[in-house]
Structure 1
Amino acid sequence: MVKLTPKKKKRPHEAADLATAEGRKRARRELVWGDHGFLRARFSNLHRIAPDMWRANQPSPRQVVAHAKARGIKTIINLRGASTKGYYLLEKEACEAAGIDLVDFQVFSRDTPTKEAIFGARDLFERIEYPALMHCKSGADRAGIMSVLYMLLHEKVPFAEARQQLSLKYLHVKHGKTGMLDAFFDAYERYNDGRAPEAWKPFLDWVEEDYDRMAVKTEFLENFGTKVQIDKILGRE
């Protein structure tokens, strides 16, 4: 008879106390080692995509200060969502010290976006103070889709130009589940197939009236087995 040992439940992660020396050391370890901050020490994947908007990977506290001083950043949009991990606690502290408004707006890199998220992004871009910077962990996927939305909805650039924000130039690779982001925009292109660019249905009208999130996701997953699965290799969230 085989005796099965029940899996231990993971304990909720308790936030480090930045008011103590040990807590600050722990937060720093979580940033540098747990969140791969050492890889970002010399590479920020930083790009200016419009006069008042930047995109990047997860900034260190020192980089937050640099953004405030060198670029006059007033708002940082954290696309990873709030967290108890050191990378977030230290970023939040640095933003408060630099007078930057830290806005948490969680986006997912391996799922098709919801209608609520798309319209939420539009509203977010309308209410924040500029200049602004948005980031995820790598600056490739979540920062990519949000950059496309920013260029479409706020800067009003043509779709083909906006979509370039989701490309290998910014380290986005579509040959994994992050390809769901590409599938979303592919669906919009297919809907307008055969029409002149000026006759395309407005993007938000398509999202509201025609976009079937689960259908796009299902179609992608059905074809996913033929794609190169590299999510684990890249270590993406």
Structure 2
Amino acid sequence: MGTLRRTLVFALLAAVGVTVAGPLRSYVFRSNLHPVVPGAVYRSAQPSGDVLTGWIDELSLRTVVNLRGRKSEDDRRWLLEEIAASERAGVEHVSIRMSAADVPPAQTLRRLVEVLDTAERPLLLHCKAGAERSALAAAVAVLLESGDLERARAEFALDKGFVEWVNPRLPRLLEDYAAWLTEQRVASSPERFRHWAMHEYAPYFYKARIEALDAPLQLATGAPATLRFRVTNTSRRPIPFQSARHEGVHLGARLASASGQQLELRGGFVDLALAPGASTELALELPALPAAGRWTMRVDLVDEGVKWFAALGSTPLDLPLEVAATP
């Protein structure tokens, strides 16, 4: 995506006759390095090991935050280079996996806030192109430092490589925060942003509370059961439940036995736009479980073809089941 975007930007510059000294010069040719909080926080594109070594010396960096994530036994060359450069300089290296195309899950935003609050500074935030994930992380750093929404919005800027019509989703995090401030009738501050990020933030409609109404924890093999749950929308947007089985939001459950058997269920097939703060009761048909013993059941909402709500930070309901053999 970064390489394609650079090519498109360069072609656009040539087409309109903008010179290299134009607003995108830093993005195209200079590793997109910019101060966020002068002397304390910087943002950039992916540096090579040698470039990072130079920046560590030049900027006195004490922490490098990689926003591209890190896998177990990760052997990507760019990551190995930057880890080696950080270790040689005695600099802390932190990896957080963020999407370049969408707002982060709630747990990822909380982790980013935690790192920005506790990591030794000066620190560098970087992604691949330095235009999207770095913009979002930089905006969060600005809000934690000053609470200034306009300064935070300025991190999503053309001179830093961000093109809103290419990716309109990331700035929505700031607009959701602004909407919450309006609802609360308060002004932005570092303390209020920190509270919102840690306790109030929910991407889109992916936040709900699930309570068991009629869900027996002891069952018998060969005996199906109907389980009932109350679902409350704790997000700021309506949850779009649908009766169609392969689209929209449904109630779901994943079951696993102690011996490794697994089962995935769906329920709640209703056409309903569940308003923020509203609740509804949904049923889940549990088939006869094939094996006696202990089972675990995780009940959650699922946006079909997209994500389970828990993947974006919503808290699922975990229930232990004891299945007895039928005499």
> Given the alignment, which residue of 149, 172, 192 partners 1:183?
172
Q: Give runs of aligned pairs for residues 1-237 of structure 1, distance below 5 A.
A: 42-50=29-37, 51-82=39-70, 83-153=74-144, 155-176=145-166, 178-193=167-182, 198=187, 202-207=192-197, 210-215=200-205
AA paired with 2:33?
Answer: L
Aligned to 1:213, the other structure's residue is in SS state coil
Aligned to 1:84, the other structure's residue is in SS state coil
Instruction: Write the distance in 1 (CA, Å) between the matches of 2:110 and 2:183.
Output: 27
Instruction: Write the distance in 1 (CA, Å) between the matches of 2:33 and 2:56.
Output: 14
Q: Aligned in 2, Cα 1:119/1:64: closer, same or farther, shift over 3 Å?
A: same
Instruction: Write the distance in 2 (CA, Å) between the matches of 1:199 and 1:73.
Output: 29
AA paired with 1:43?
Answer: R
AA paired with 1:116?
Answer: Q
Q: CA deviation at 1:78?
A: 0.5
Q: What is the TM-score normalised by the length of structure 1? A: 0.65
Q: CA deviation at 1:81?
A: 1.0
Instruction: Write the distance in 2 (CA, Å) between the matches of 1:169 and 1:41.
Output: 10
AA paired with 1:44?
Answer: S
Aligned to 1:214, the other structure's residue is in SS state coil
Number of positions where the alignment pairs a residue of Structure 1 with one of Structure 2: 179
Q: Aligned in 2, Cα 1:120/1:194: closer, same or farther, shift over 3 Å?
A: closer
**Partner of 2:314 in structure 1?**
none
**Residues 197-234 of structure 1: per-residue CA shift (max 9 Å, x gap):** 73799334444565441338x99xxxxxxxxxxxxxxx
Q: CA deviation at 1:58?
A: 0.3
Q: Aligned in 2, Cα 1:76/1:211: closer, same or farther, shift over 3 Å?
A: closer
**Partner of 1:12 in structure 2?**
none
AA paired with 1:69?
Answer: D
- Give the percent of matched residue pairs that are identical in Structure 1 and Structure 2: 24
- Show structure 1 runs of 4+ deviating over 3 A: 190-197, 204-212
Instruction: Write the distance in 2 (CA, Å) between the matches of 1:183 and 1:199.
Output: 16
AA paired with 1:188?
Answer: Y
Q: Please tell me whether the aligned partners of residues 48 and 78 of structure 2 are also in contact (alpha carbons under 8 angstroms).
A: yes
Q: Which has the higher helix share?
A: 1
Instruction: Write the distance in 2 (CA, Å) between the matches of 1:199 and 1:43.
Output: 33
Instruction: Write the distance in 2 (CA, Å) between the matches of 1:172 and 1:124.
Output: 24
Q: CA deviation at 1:47?
A: 0.6
Instruction: Write the distance in 1 (CA, Å) between the matches of 2:90 and 2:195.
Output: 37
AA paired with 1:171?
Answer: G
**Partner of 2:303 in structure 1?**
none
Instruction: Write the distance in 1 (CA, Å) between the matches of 2:161 and 2:132.
Output: 8
Q: CA deviation at 1:190?
A: 3.4
Q: CA deviation at 1:59?
A: 0.6
Q: Aligned in 2, Cα 1:214/1:199: closer, same or farther, shift over 3 Å?
A: closer
**Partner of 2:318 in structure 1?**
none
Structure with more contact order per residue of length (Cα contacts < 8 Å, sep ≥ 6): 1
Q: What is the TM-score normalised by the length of structure 2? A: 0.49
Q: Which runs of 5+ in 2 are unaligned?
A: 7-26, 207-236, 239-327
AA paired with 2:44?
Answer: A
Q: CA deviation at 1:134?
A: 1.0
Q: Which has the higher strand share?
A: 2
Larger Rg belongs to: 2
Instruction: Write the distance in 1 (CA, Å) between the matches of 2:67 and 2:182.
Output: 31
Q: CA deviation at 1:98?
A: 2.3
